[in-house]
Structure 1
Amino acid sequence: MPNKCYELSERKVVESLASKIKIVTDSTSDLPEELVRMHDIHVVPLYVNFSEATYKDGVDLAAKDFYPMLEKAKDSLPKTSMPSVGDFVKVYESLLQQGYEILSIHISSGLSGTASVAETAAGMLKGRISVFDSKSISAGIGLQVLEAVEMVKQNLSLDHILSRLEEVRQRTEVFFSLDTLEYLEKGGRIGRVSALLGSLLKIKPVVRVENGIYVPLDRVRNQKQAIQKMVEHMVKTLAGHKPKGVAVVHGAAEELAKELKKLVEETVGIKISLFKETGPVIGVHTGPGTLGVGFTY
């Protein structure tokens, strides 16, 4: 007969060891609040700067309130800014004082200096803090964060998690379509997608996040075609494999996003549980009408 006292003791040791690593990310990961609470993920917000006020992404300003404000501010689009070193120090210091090691997973350094700010903050403190560049955005970051959470639950060491997370990063894809290039261009994040600007056609670009930057993947005439193309590219990338995790995100385009979700589920045979409207910081650069799918495999 098993020794129940021993089993309980062993479980407590495992839970104690597993809890010694905490996950930090930033608000561009677009993780639903219920998952953040459930897994005790610490989210450092970026900032959205309208002419009349500055808001913390997802804290002072939710997506449902942001997109109407964006539509009204077309003549003076908001800007975004990174968290301060102090913002990161505050979060890191609290966790270190509780005896935790920290894994901090952030938006691609090719799109934001957030990871660099996190590195600066980490260098100011005593304790184990590993800053990880997701080389992705939105759903791509969120899926990497959730994989890291599962690794922590498996009681893996921080070094082991980092090694496996590098593999996950290589197998993380994000495809998204834009209703217009206006916001990407004005936000200064257009990168190689600028090649599409010279077109006189009314096109909707389909974009891939490749090695941390935006690259054009396809072009279509409408968002219905964009949905089809994203799923086609997803199937091609998977090459017969099942995805480990899938997320669908959108910017003020819920009904179209539901169509994308349905087509992905029917095509690859997986139930999508991560479905979210992109937050204000991502929305500043992509605008309303954006649709995206992220997946790991």
Structure 2
Amino acid sequence: MRCILVGIEAAPEFVETPALEYAISLAADCGASLSLYVFAPPPSAPWPMTTGSASAWLENETERLEQQTAATTRAASKLVSQAGVDLVAEHANALFEPRDARFVQLARVHDVVIFDAAAAADSSGRRVIEDMLFDSGRPVVLIPRFAGNVSPRRIAIAWDGSARAARAVKDALPFLIAADLVVAVTITGEKDLSRMAPGADLASYLARHGIRNCKLATLAGAGGDVAARLRLFVAEEDVEMIVMGAFVHSRFREAVLGGVTRSMLDDTPVPLFLSH
């Protein structure tokens, strides 16, 4: 990896998020450059109903956006500089521009995107994650509160033999090659896996990339809850990263995440490497 993108949200008081901390450490570990994008903060008050009030609201919110995005960018840039990592920083500068349009543009010219898993808790943050997955063409690593090692030694691949899972494996090779152990986990009970590419074929593919210590695990989903079974496996086996393909349904021309993907977004215990 040579170029990494991380996104954080502007705030009145700067706090180093798990994603920013992880991205800085990863860039330092890989000798990569880091790009930072600071999102606009949410409005402090709803849009007023009267014309006179609207003018004052617009002036106040514009000033607030400029102050908070600039201050957050300066504070985050200082942390990156202290780590000796090359940085390019950019922040939102208009109230009514699409929230993640520029972020998606930037993602397309980076190797990987780092984002906070906690962002999935609200609709605007989840929309950013979905747009990144389905519009950028780049993988996203979602970072939970306790991120752990930026060079994970034990990685689990959620393997269902699909094109999405295969794409995720290919995108995650820099992490997989550096790991001590890779486990391809297939969980039964949710979908028909009779036509999937066997895990043994995946192990052969990984071996050709120098990944010799690859194990296969087939588990029964607990009541069909694949995400819960995967989280349990992660805890039992001290897994430090999950690699999986992001499944999407097409509904009314909108992207709707599949149930397992959505559940893992809501509660991932370790960094979650997603690709579509």
Q: Choose between structure 1 and 2 for higher RCO, CA contacts under 8 A separated by at least 6 residues.
A: 1
TM-score by length of 2: 0.28
